[in-house]
Amino acid sequence: MIDIIAYVLLGIVSCAIGFCMLGFVFRKSIGHDILGWHDCDATGFDGASATGTCKYCGKECLQDSQGNWF
């Protein structure tokens, strides 16, 4: 009985790690290239909003007061 529980827990942990890895792998190829989402790092502040550049394409981004980049 304990063996079954251990195998089930191992399977759940393995699936969770696999899904996390897929998220990192497909972040650029699907999120950026297909959907047009930019992954920006804040590099400045213009007095009202944070400014930054996309990690992948270098496009200038602006962060609003809600934390959304556009």
pLDDT confidence tier of residue 42, bands split at 50, 70 and 90? confident
Cα–Cα distance measured from residue 27 to residue 39, given in angstroms and rounded to the nearest whole number: 9
Q: What is the pTM of this model?
A: 0.56
Structure confidence at residue 68 (pLDDT): 82
Indicate the burial class of 52 (C-beta count within 10 angstroms; 0-12, 13-18, 19 or more). Answer: buried
Residue 13 has pLDDT above 70, yes or no: yes
Residue 25 has pLDDT above 70, yes or no: no
Cα–Cα distance measured from residue 55 to residue 48, given in angstroms and rounded to the nearest whole number: 22
> pLDDT tens across 45-55, in order?
888 888 999 98
Map tokens 């063996």 to a residue: 3
pLDDT confidence tier of residue 65, bands split at 50, 70 and 90? confident
Residue 50, SS3 per DSSP: strand
